[in-house]
């Protein structure tokens, strides 16, 4: 994590300065089994992912150490490469005078005989300069020297850190330094070029000529986007002709109506062209005040706000004046040939879109028009798209900010016993009156409970360590990652507001922003308006009228998948207000002005979580009222912001512009493909304190304590949550067993037990995990003291649940058996709490509650459960008592989780011949003293 103080570049940043796109990082995932191993576990393990990075540079490659994070492996590789190159990052700790000396020395070296054959982009420019025509032959544009040499850039940064945002400053420094070499270099501010005083020796020139690639005579052109300085003029497609080996900066100068390439200023790289290569902006160098190079630094008079190109400046984060050309062109390392990619108007708009957190999210979801940065980070499995932390890093990188700094703190974690005590005092939430749901969720915010131990603060700083934003949500999270992602999302939402609403400033706080502080320094300029349709009146969104008002049936937290398409519809008969206007009638001479529907964005299948605002609000509200397989379509009118987005998705820019000028409507068509209910665990955790799963465990623990049991088998143990919690209490248990059919669950259980049993002193002598179906009998589990089967039967078919009941009581014959399963009747309460607020109580038909989890094969009412358990107990000479957790047994509709406790009436049971039936496979076994046993 970055400390305060002087800013130093990361190894990766230095490599980037030197090699740009020629540094290729390839990260491989490695699985270090020694790290993840749970000794004795008979399930092949992937283990946590570790990363190793291969860094390929033009001349050599290095391989990093194995790191926990991808990012660290890249930094590690970059560090190794710097070692190899003999570059130590500390080199940047120079004084200003030393930096000036270095700058002068470096310029002298660049114009040395030796450098002319350098196999890097700057060397290629020097050689190309020798092939320039007329006056310009041999003269190198000053911006080339200022842009393509990493050392020059880093020295200028020491002289003045503002060079980051103002490329003109670098140009003036280079000019000033060059003017100190009158015997070697002719530096003419008027011409904005540098030239060697004495020509290169003829041998060198001849040798170069011999290796030169023959210039093809073919016509060579590449596309670029032309960004006029005047905001009201449209960004248009342009092409640059570099046929017959013409120096590309001269060609670009021509597009900008400049005399030659010497007058062109070059921005840093940013954004991406269609093929993914980086772009730069080319614009006129603001005029030097002739012969007063040094003074020109402070002279701002020639560069007024009027000449500032707001759109160009916005996308590259540097001050750009005059019209600009956005292009992806340049020399590569070790190649003489000019490399270029087409840049289109669409590329320009995509780059614009990618400037805001929301835009980054849209692009990564490949749904520019409909995807929205969600307002809350839910669990990992429900989150769609790149994680907030990743987006925040991308955003910071985009805006030349330092990498975000995360500080994680932990809360003292209470023991389960302590929580158990404290919650007994608390009223156990029943939700029987809907009124206290709210209190429950609020309380959760600040109370650290079991495992609710992580809280994360994120700071965003500029590269010179000035604070931009500090975000310290007070909430605690069970998992460190959740805390980090939530803090990141908070920061992103703050930035997003800044970009999308333009009404956020440092002192502005609403409820949610109490935890977010910004010193109010405006690091960002307001984004310019990118919409093209001048008249933006009457462009507010209208609520879809086609989707008839129905009761939302899809609850928040559900993950839905939809197929959608958005089209632009131009209807010549109607203007936006729905009437034929006279004006329109008159202009109907335009023959092309016909009814048309053009597809602009579509997705065959996209998933999102309801209630997080991860999708266009109208789509979400329409979807919430749909049923699977249903189709809906409605029209909306266009808002100014979406014009830029439409241009970022449209393949045919001219056509899109034409349609946009005709005040089109957007036709939204949606098919609901599927719905996955909100996860049972999330729903229960949000509703109950402690979460229902914890309450079940506590219930079982109470019975274990009361019965002085020494052997326990957990049927369908999953990842071992019950066994885990049991070990937190002093009990009489000596043998614990878990059975499940899920290798994933068993592996997690084994890892947990491995850590816990070897750490804590307890009575347990033996722990065994079996891979096997509880529908099969295994004699090793015969006559145990306690059997538990928590939230398992509903994951089987109903007949199988009955079969399990028969087998467990007739064959396994535990002295005590605890079975829990959801109470179906309670679902109305749970589901009411997660239904969208918009639900109208009036005229709503009572909705049939759904199962709590899409994996449930059935859920029983209290009556069904009682019937099953009573009959079962009778048949096998057991007694049975009913109870539950979550809510109250006395109040309708009973407990949230219903529990049956079966007690064996007979104290002795017939012997089962040992080893007679042992279908279960030992997956992991632990014995006190000897630890884990291998299979
Ligand atoms: C909802 S989980 C409950 C896990 C655990 N009892 C708890 O309360 O956390 C249901 C578990 O039942 C397991 N299961 C389902 N059918 C099974 C079968 N026939 N035999 C063994 N386990 C089964 C699943 O693999 C899953 O781990
Ligand atoms: Mg379940």
pLDDT higher than threshold 70 for residue 686: no
DSSP lists the bridge partners of residue 220 as none
Compute the distance from residue 42 Cα to the ligand 1 centre, in Å: 19
Of all ligands present, the nearest one to the C-alpha of 797 is 1
Residue 90 confidence (pLDDT): 55
Render pLDDT for 522-532 as a digit per residue (tens, 0 to 9). 566 666 766 54
Asked whether residue 839 is domain-assigned, the answer is no
Are 351 and 271 in contact, with CB atoms under 8 Å apart? yes
Looking at ligand 1, which residue's alpha carbon is closest to its atom 20?
A: 773
Residue 410 confidence (pLDDT): 84
pLDDT category, 718, cuts 50, 70, 90?
very high
Compute the distance from residue 714 Cα to the ligand 1 centre, in Å: 10
Point out the least confidently predicted range of 51-60, 375-384, 675-684: 675-684
Read off the pLDDT of each residue in 342-367 and give the average, rounded to a whole number: 92
Number of independent structural domains in the chain: 5
Compute the distance from residue 734 Cα to the ligand 2 centre, in Å: 28
Residue 161 confidence (pLDDT): 84
Point out the least confidently predicted range of 1-5, 316-320, 577-581: 1-5
Asked whether residue 407 is domain-assigned, the answer is yes
The closest alpha carbon to 794, from 851, 836, 724, belongs to: 851
pLDDT higher than threshold 90 for residue 485: yes
DSSP 45-57: ---SEEEEEEEE-
- In angstroms, the CA 107 to CA 170 distance is 13
Residue 182 confidence (pLDDT): 92
Render pLDDT for 908-935 as a digit per residue (tens, 0 to 9). 777 776 667 999 999 999 998 876 664 4
pLDDT: which is higher, 407 or 216 = 407
The domain in which residue 404 lies consists of: 354-413+448-517
Compute the distance from residue 485 Cα to the ligand 2 centre, in Å: 27
pLDDT: which is higher, 859 or 205 = 859
Most trustworthy range by pLDDT among 290-294, 422-426, 660-664 = 660-664
What region, left, alpha or beta, does residue 634 occupy, with left being phi > 0 and alpha being psi -120 to 50 degrees? beta
DSSP lists the bridge partners of residue 670 as 564, 632
> How far from 220 is each of 223, 247, 255, 785, CA to CA, in Å?
10, 12, 15, 84
Read off the pLDDT of each residue in 104-132 and give the average, rounded to a whole number: 92
Of all ligands present, the nearest one to the C-alpha of 743 is 1
Looking at ligand 1, which residue's alpha carbon is closest to its atom 27?
A: 718
- In angstroms, the CA 493 to CA 469 distance is 12
Q: Is the CB of 718 under 6 A from ligand 1?
A: yes
| Residues 134 and 51 placed together within one structural domain of the fold | no
pLDDT higher than threshold 50 for residue 93: yes
Of all ligands present, the nearest one to the C-alpha of 684 is 2
| Residues 804 and 672 placed together within one structural domain of the fold | no
Point out the least confidently predicted range of 405-414, 432-441, 734-743: 432-441
pLDDT: which is higher, 363 or 291 = 363
Compute the distance from residue 774 Cα to the ligand 1 centre, in Å: 9
Q: Is the CB of 854 under 6 A from ligand 1?
A: no
Of all ligands present, the nearest one to the C-alpha of 896 is 2
| Residues 227 and 262 placed together within one structural domain of the fold | yes
Residue 8 confidence (pLDDT): 61
pLDDT category, 297, cuts 50, 70, 90?
very low
Q: How many CB atoms are located within 10 Å of the residue 442 CB?
A: 10
| Residues 925 and 803 placed together within one structural domain of the fold | yes
| Residues 137 and 269 placed together within one structural domain of the fold | yes
Q: Which of ligand 1's atoms lies nearest the C-alpha of 721?
A: 9
Q: Is the CB of 885 under 6 A from ligand 1?
A: no
Q: Is the CB of 716 under 6 A from ligand 1?
A: yes
pLDDT: which is higher, 38 or 634 = 634
Considering 678, 699, 728, which residue would you say is the last residue of a domain? 678
| Residues 296 and 358 placed together within one structural domain of the fold | no
Asked whether residue 760 is domain-assigned, the answer is yes
Compute the distance from residue 125 Cα to the ligand 2 centre, in Å: 67
Surface-to-core class of residue 674, CB atoms within 10 Å of its CB (0-12 exposed, 13-18 middle, 19+ buried): middle
Among 792, 800, 803, 885, which is best to mutate for testing ligand 1, by the most ligand atoms less than 8 A from CB? Answer: 792
pLDDT category, 7, cuts 50, 70, 90?
very low
| Residues 719 and 745 placed together within one structural domain of the fold | yes
Residue 594 confidence (pLDDT): 72
Read off the pLDDT of each residue in 491-516 and give the average, rounded to a whole number: 62
Asked whether residue 61 is domain-assigned, the answer is yes
Tell me what the pLDDT averaged over the chain comes to: 81
pLDDT higher than threshold 50 for residue 419: no
Read off the pLDDT of each residue in 367-396 and give the average, rounded to a whole number: 89
CATH number of the domain bearing residue 736? 3.40.50.150
The closest alpha carbon to 489, from 641, 361, 645, belongs to: 361
Asked whether residue 400 is domain-assigned, the answer is yes
Q: Is the pTM of this model over 0.80?
A: no
Compute the distance from residue 816 Cα to the ligand 1 centre, in Å: 19
pLDDT category, 359, cuts 50, 70, 90?
very high
Residue 736 confidence (pLDDT): 97
Residue 71 confidence (pLDDT): 87
Q: Is the CB of 632 under 6 A from ligand 1?
A: no
Read off the pLDDT of each residue in 52-77 and give the average, rounded to a whole number: 86
- Please state the three-class secondary structure of 204-248 as a single string: HHHHHHHHCCCCCCCCCEEEEEEECCCCCCCCEEEEEECHHHCCH
Sheet (strand 405-410) strand order: 405-410, 454-461, 467-471, 516-517
Point out the least confidently predicted range of 141-150, 213-222, 350-359, 409-418: 409-418
Compute the distance from residue 834 Cα to the ligand 2 centre, in Å: 18
- In angstroms, the CA 243 to CA 246 distance is 6
pLDDT: which is higher, 623 or 845 = 623
Among 716, 789, 801, which is best to mutate for testing ligand 1, by the most ligand atoms less than 8 A from CB? Answer: 716
| Residues 636 and 766 placed together within one structural domain of the fold | no
HSE-CB for 167 with a 13 A CA cutoff: 27
CATH number of the domain bearing residue 371? 3.30.160.20
Q: Which of ligand 1's atoms lies nearest the C-alpha of 789?
A: 6
Are 822 and 852 in contact, with CB atoms under 8 Å apart? yes
Compute the distance from residue 283 Cα to the ligand 2 centre, in Å: 63
Q: Which helix (H) or strand (E) holds 485?
A: helix 480-500
Q: Where are the alpha helices (DSSP H) in 760-877?
A: 798-807, 827-834, 862-875
pLDDT higher than threshold 90 for residue 496: no
For residue 896, cis peptide bond before it (omega within 30 degrees of 0): no
Of all ligands present, the nearest one to the C-alpha of 794 is 2
| Residues 492 and 604 placed together within one structural domain of the fold | no
- Burial letters 871-899, b for 16+ CB under 10 A, else e: ebbeebebebebebbbbeeeeebbbbbbb
pLDDT category, 275, cuts 50, 70, 90?
confident
pLDDT: which is higher, 134 or 93 = 134
Point out the least confidently predicted range of 47-56, 74-83, 352-361, 662-671: 47-56
- In angstroms, the CA 268 to CA 248 distance is 17
The closest alpha carbon to 549, from 751, 838, 352, belongs to: 838
- In angstroms, the CA 265 to CA 283 distance is 5
Q: Which of ligand 1's atoms lies nearest the C-alpha of 693?
A: 8
Residue 773 confidence (pLDDT): 97
Q: Which of ligand 1's atoms lies nearest the C-alpha of 774?
A: 20
Render pLDDT for 560-594 as a digit per residue (tens, 0 to 9). 999 999 999 987 765 544 444 444 444 444 555 57
Read off the pLDDT of each residue in 511-531 and give the average, rounded to a whole number: 65
Asked whether residue 178 is domain-assigned, the answer is yes
Considering 678, 698, 722, which residue would you say is the last residue of a domain? 678
- At 724, give phi and psi (nearest 5°): -60, -55
Looking at ligand 1, which residue's alpha carbon is closest to its atom 8?
A: 790
Asked whether residue 436 is domain-assigned, the answer is no
Asked whether residue 582 is domain-assigned, the answer is yes
pLDDT higher than threshold 70 for residue 348: yes
| Residues 640 and 705 placed together within one structural domain of the fold | no
Compute the distance from residue 716 Cα to the ligand 1 centre, in Å: 4
Q: Which of ligand 1's atoms lies nearest the C-alpha of 742?
A: 25
pLDDT: which is higher, 382 or 138 = 138
Above pLDDT 70, what percent of the chain?
Answer: 79
- Burial letters 192-203, b for 16+ CB under 10 A, else e: bbbbbeeebeee
Render pLDDT for 752-805 as a digit per residue (tens, 0 to 9). 999 899 886 788 999 999 999 999 999 999 999 999 999 999 999 999 999 999
Read off the pLDDT of each residue in 449-456 and give the average, rounded to a whole number: 67
What region, left, alpha or beta, does residue 515 occupy, with left being phi > 0 and alpha being psi -120 to 50 degrees? alpha
Compute the distance from residue 822 Cα to the ligand 2 centre, in Å: 7
What the block records as the tokens of 894 is 């009973």
pLDDT category, 414, cuts 50, 70, 90?
low
Looking at ligand 1, which residue's alpha carbon is closest to its atom 13?
A: 716
- In angstroms, the CA 415 to CA 420 distance is 9
CATH number of the domain bearing residue 585? 3.10.50
Question: Computed from CA positions of residues 847, 849, 855, 856, in that sequence, does the dihedral angle turn out positive or negative?
Answer: negative
Compute the distance from residue 853 Cα to the ligand 2 centre, in Å: 6
| Residues 700 and 665 placed together within one structural domain of the fold | no
Of all ligands present, the nearest one to the C-alpha of 801 is 1
Strand intervals (E) in 761-896: 766-771, 786-790, 816-822, 878-885
Render pLDDT for 183-233 as a digit per residue (tens, 0 to 9). 999 988 778 899 999 999 988 888 887 766 555 556 789 999 999 999 888
pLDDT category, 429, cuts 50, 70, 90?
very low
| Residues 476 and 403 placed together within one structural domain of the fold | yes
Compute the distance from residue 857 Cα to the ligand 2 centre, in Å: 9
Q: Which of ligand 1's atoms lies nearest the C-alpha of 820?
A: 8
Q: Which of ligand 1's atoms lies nearest the C-alpha of 714?
A: 6
Of all ligands present, the nearest one to the C-alpha of 717 is 1
Considering 648, 678, 708, which residue would you say is the last residue of a domain? 678
């Amino acid at each position: 994590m970055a400390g305060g103080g002087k800013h130093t570049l990361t190894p990766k940043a230095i490599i980037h300065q030197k090699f740009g796109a020629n540094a290729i990082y390839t990260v491989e995932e490695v699985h270090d089994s020694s790290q993840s191993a749970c000794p004795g576990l008979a399930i092949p393990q992937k283990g946590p992912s570790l990363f190793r990075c291969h860094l390929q540079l033009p001349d050599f490659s290095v391989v990093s150490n194995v790191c926990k994070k991808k990012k660290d492996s890249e930094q590690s590789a970059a560090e190794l490469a710097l070692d190899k190159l003999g570059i130590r990052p500390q080199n940047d700790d120079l004084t200003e005078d030393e930096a000036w000396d270095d700058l002068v020395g470096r310029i002298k070296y660049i114009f040395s005989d030796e450098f002319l054959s350098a196999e890097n982009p700057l060397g290629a420019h020097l050689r190309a300069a020798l092939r320039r025509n007329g006056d310009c032959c041999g003269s190198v544009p000053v911006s080339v020297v200022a842009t393509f040499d990493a050392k020059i850039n880093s020295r200028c940064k020491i002289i003045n850190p503002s060079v980051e945002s103002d490329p003109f400053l670098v140009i003036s420094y280079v000019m000033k330094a060059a003017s100190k070499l009158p015997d070697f270099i002719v530096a003419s501010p008027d011409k904005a070029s540098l030239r060697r005083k004495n020509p290169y020796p003829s041998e060198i020139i001849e040798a170069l000529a011999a290796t030169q690639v023959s210039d093809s005579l073919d016509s060579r052109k590449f596309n670029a986007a032309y960004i006029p300085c005047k905001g009201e003029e449209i960004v248009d497609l342009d092409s640059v002709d570099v046929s017959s080996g013409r120096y590309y900066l001269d060609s670009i100068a021509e597009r900008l109506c400049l005399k030659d390439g010497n007058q062109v200023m070059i921005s840093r790289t940013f954004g991406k062209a269609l093929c993914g290569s980086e772009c730069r902006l080319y614009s006129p160098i603001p005029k030097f005040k002739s012969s007063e190079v040094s003074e020109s630094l402070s002279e701002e008079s020639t560069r007024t706000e009027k000449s500032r190109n707001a759109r160009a400046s916005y996308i590259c984060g540097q001050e750009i004046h005059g019209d600009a050309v956005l292009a992806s062109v340049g020399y590569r390392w070790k190649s003489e040939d000019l490399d270029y990619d087409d840049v289109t108007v669409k590329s320009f708009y995509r780059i614009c879109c990618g400037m805001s957190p929301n835009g980054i999210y849209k692009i990564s979801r490949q749904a520019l028009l409909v995807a929205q940065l969600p307002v809350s980070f839910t669990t990992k499995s429900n989150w769609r798209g790149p994680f907030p932390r990743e987006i925040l890093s991308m955003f910071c990188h985009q805006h030349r900010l330092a990498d975000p700094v995360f500080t994680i703190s932990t809360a003292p974690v209470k023991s389960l016993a302590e929580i158990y005590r404290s919650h007994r005092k608390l009223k156990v939430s029943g939700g029987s009156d809907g009124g206290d749901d709210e209190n429950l969720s609020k309380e959760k915010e600040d109370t650290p409970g079991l495992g609710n131990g992580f809280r994360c603060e994120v700071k965003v700083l500029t590269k010179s360590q000035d604070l931009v934003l500090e975000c310290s949500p007070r909430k605690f999270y069970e998992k460190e990652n959740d805390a980090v992602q939530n803090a990141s999302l908070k920061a992103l939402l703050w930035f997003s507001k800044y970009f999308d609403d333009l009404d956020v400033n440092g002192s502005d706080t609403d409820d949610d922003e109490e935890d977010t502080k910004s010193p109010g320094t405006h690091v960002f300029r307001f984004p310019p308006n990118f919409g093209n349709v001048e008249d933006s009146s009457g462009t507010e969104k209208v609520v879809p009228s086609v989707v008839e008002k129905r009761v939302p049936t899809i609850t928040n937290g559900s993950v839905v998948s939809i197929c959608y398409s958005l089209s632009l519809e131009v209807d010549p008969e109607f203007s936006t207000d729905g009437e034929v206007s006279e004006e329109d009638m008159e202009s109907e001479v335009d023959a092309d002005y016909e009814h048309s529907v053009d597809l602009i964005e579509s997705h065959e299948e996209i998933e999102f979580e309801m209630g997080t605002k991860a999708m266009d609000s109208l789509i979400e509200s329409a979807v919430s009222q749909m049923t699977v397989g249903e189709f809906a379509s409605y029209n909306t009118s266009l808002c100014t912001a979406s014009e830029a987005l439409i241009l970022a998705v449209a393949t045919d820019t001219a056509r899109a512009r034409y349609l946009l000028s005709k005040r089109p409507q957007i036709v939204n068509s949606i098919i609901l493909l599927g719905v996955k209910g909100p996860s049972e665990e999330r729903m229960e955790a949000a509703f109950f304190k402690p979460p229902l799963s914890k309450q079940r465990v506590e219930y079982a623990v109470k019975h274990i304590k009361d019965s002085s049991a020494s052997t326990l088998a957990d049927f369908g143990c999953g990842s071992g949550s019950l066994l885990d919690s049991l070990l937190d209490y002093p009990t009489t248990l000596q043998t614990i067993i878990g059975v499940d059919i899920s290798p994933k669950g068993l592996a997690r259980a084994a890892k947990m037990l491995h850590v816990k049993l070897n750490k804590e002193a307890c009575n347990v002598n033996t722990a065994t995990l079996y891979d096997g179906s509880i529908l099969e009998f295994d004699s090793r589990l015969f006559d145990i003291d306690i059997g538990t089967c928590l939230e398992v039967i509903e994951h089987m078919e109903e007949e199988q649940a009955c079969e399990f009941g028969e087998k467990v009581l007739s064959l396994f014959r535990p002295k005590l058996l605890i079975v829990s399963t959801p109470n179906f009747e309670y679902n109305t309460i749970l589901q009411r709490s997660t239904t969208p607020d918009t639900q109208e109580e009036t005229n709503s038909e009572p909705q049939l509650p759904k199962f709590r989890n899409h994996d449930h094969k059935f859920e029983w009412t209290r009556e069904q459960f009682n019937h099953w358990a009573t009959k079962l107990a009778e048949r096998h000479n057991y007694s049975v008592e009913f109870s539950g957790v979550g809510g109250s047994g006395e109040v309708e509709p009973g407990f949230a989780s219903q529990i049956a406790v079966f007690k064996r009436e007979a104290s002795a049971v017939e012997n089962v011949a040992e080893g007679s039936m042992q279908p279960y496979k030992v997956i992991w076994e632990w014995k006190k003293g000897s630890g884990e046993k291998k299979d």
